[in-house]
Amino acid sequence: METRATSITARQANAALFVLLLTYMMSYIDRTALGVLQEPIKRELALSDWQLGLLSGPVFAVLYALMSLPIARLAERYSRSRLIALCLFFWSLMTMVCGLCQSYAQLLVARIGVSIGEAGGNPASHSLIADLFPPSRRGRAISVYTFGVPVGAFLGAALSGWLAAQWGWRAAFLILGPAGFLLVLAVLRLIPNVPRGRFDEAPADPDPPDVWTVLRTLGASAVFRRFAGGAALVVLVGYGAAAFVAPFLIRVHRLDLGEVGLISGLINGAAAGAGTLFGGFAADHFAQRDRRHYGWMPAVTMAIAAPCFTAGFLVGQLWLATALLMLGTACLYTYIAPTFAQVHAIAGPRMRATAAAVLFLIINLIGLGLGPPIIGSVSDYVAANSFDGAAPARFAALCKDMADSGCHEAAAAGITAGMLSLCPLLPVSALLFWLAGKAVGRDGDIDSSKA
């Protein structure tokens, strides 16, 4: 099956994968910048943590998740590379607009624009990867593509922190946005017109199945349900923590923006990158003997991540907190490649973009949509209660500039409580991944009948 004749060479496939990695990286540079720049934005626009959590969470997640499905349907019918190029141009433009915003409402609208643009990149990219690489290499190919997340997170954190320290938070958005324009031509020139179903035994259907057929196929699979549930809980913890790691470091460890950019880049960039690559290569390696390891491997790593995050948010030494949070983050990111590899195995060649969009819809609505606002709400409540028992809005007004030591200590207590609030979900995620592994047939076929 893997030697099927095709006009696409291995060199072309690898070049296309590299370009896809760069586009994913660019989306996370734009996305991560907001998290690092939250403190100066909060002070200038007089915002609460709940408003910041709303900005990083539901405002972005709902449009990102909902728009991914109709754009994925376009990817099933039309040129996937052109669709990615168009989306890349639009989200880069809207990132620039963020730097021009003068109010919370304007910033809200700009982030909605970024989310709509980024919604189209992932489903089309996953559909391409499934046709660029055979099933035995999809796990590692997905991990290479997803390596754009940690690289983008590291660069976004480091660059936005440095740019903001030099010229202010607005300049960071205005400088980072146009970088995406340079990639548009690379997407159009270096990603070939890949035949759909290139590595599938049966030829691809001439027309893609309707959305309800895709939903019935995925819903009937216990493997999909369990992987999706485990992934959603991981994203709930991971996105929530990533959105507030910069404020955590500033309030608890008293770092400045430049230092925060570097350390949050190490946590969300270097550590996440190591976990992403390990997850893809390790899953493919162990799955050669038993495909159930696609579920069991992330089950073990999520069980390790839980105590790492809990301890990392509680210890007082910066170096130890950084090391624990890096290890925990590396464990979190191991879920990506095995999860999407199984989704590609379940879905047919003309439904993979839609299947990827459905999975993104689930994990982003639950994870990205709920994680940041939960942490923000807990932080606001605990901080206000620690200060003088006042309402969170009154605390935000009294402690706008955090000049008072009591304000700073209350804010540190609040953000710590917020970060800890989601950690108990990781053992539940580990259980779901373990059960997902049990539902994968030993002979390599997906057994979706197991409940």
Q: Write out pLDDT tens, residues 28-41.
A: 888 778 878 888 88
Q: Cα separations (Å) of 386 from 47, 120, 251, 316, 391?
A: 19, 43, 14, 19, 11
Residues in contact with 317: Cβ distance below 8 Å, sequence separation at least 6, in sequence order: none
- Residue 419: its pLDDT value, please? 93
Beta-bridge partners for 440: 446
**Which residues, 6 or more positions from 62, have their beta carbon under 8 angstroms from its beta carbon?**
115, 365, 369
Residue 445 lies in a domain: no
69: confidence class by pLDDT, cuts 50, 70, 90: confident
Res 393: pLDDT: 61
Half-sphere exposure of 158 (CA within 13 A, CB side): 14
Residues near 205 by beta carbon (within 8 Å), at least 6 away in sequence: 348, 349, 350
Q: How many CB atoms lie within 10 A of CB 160?
A: 30
Provide the token pair at 223.
Answer: 């493997």
User: Does residue 72 sit within a domain?
Assistant: yes
Tens of pLDDT, residue by residue over 408-417, are: 788 888 899 9
Q: Which of 138, 101, 49, 33 is nearest to 352 (CA)?
A: 138
* Band of residue 178 on the pLDDT scale cut at 50, 70, 90: confident
CATH for 90: 1.20.1250.20
pLDDT of 152 above 80: yes
Per the structure, the count of domains in the chain is 1
CB of 154 closer than 8 Å to CB of 273: yes
- Domain, as residue range, for 257: 10-194+207-438
5, part of any domain: no
Report if residue 449 sits inside a domain. Answer: no
* Side chain identity, residue 392: P
CA distances from 338 to 135, 169, 230, 447 (A): 12, 37, 12, 16
Contact 239, 368 (CB under 8 A): yes
**What confidence category does residue 286 fall into, taking pLDDT thresholds of 50, 70 and 90?**
confident
Query: Is residue 292 assigned to a domain?
Result: yes
The values of phi and psi at residue 440, to 5°, are -90, 125
Q: Which of 370, 344, 369, 345 minimizes the C-alpha distance to 357?
A: 344
Contacts (Cβ under 8 Å, ≥6 apart) of 448: 220, 221, 222, 223, 224, 346, 439
* 2 within a domain of the structure (yes/no): no
Mean of pLDDT over the chain: 83
**Among 90, 147, 56, 13, which residue's Cα sits nearest to residue 376?**
56
Handedness of CA 373, 374, 376, 380 (dihedral sign): positive
Listed ranges 134-143, 185-194, 325-334; the one with the highest mean pLDDT: 325-334
pLDDT digits (tens, 9 = 90+) for 236-273: 998 888 888 888 998 899 887 778 877 887 887 788 88
Q: Identity (one letter) of the amino acid at 436? A: A
For residue 227, the model assigns a pLDDT of 94
Output the pLDDT for position 9: 82
Q: Is the pTM of this model over 0.75?
A: no
Listed in sequence order, the residues at least 6 apart from 449 whose beta carbon sits closer than 8 Å to its beta carbon are: 222
- Asked whether the predicted pLDDT for residue 447 surpasses 60, the reply is no
**Percentage, residues of the chain above pLDDT 70:** 89
In sequence order, the β-bridge partners of residue 446 are: 440
Q: Are 352 and 127 in contact (CB under 8 A)?
A: yes
Taking the C-alpha atoms of residue 116 and residue 60, their distance in angstroms, rounded to an integer, is: 8
DSSP 1-51: -TT---S--HHHHHHHHHHHHHHHHHHHHHHHHHHHTHHHHHHHHT--HHH
Within a domain: residue 199? no
Residue from 377, 385, 392 nearest 413 by CA:
385
For residue range 201-236, what is the model confidence (pLDDT) as tens digits? 554 556 677 888 888 888 888 889 999 999 999 999
Report if residue 201 sits inside a domain.
Answer: no
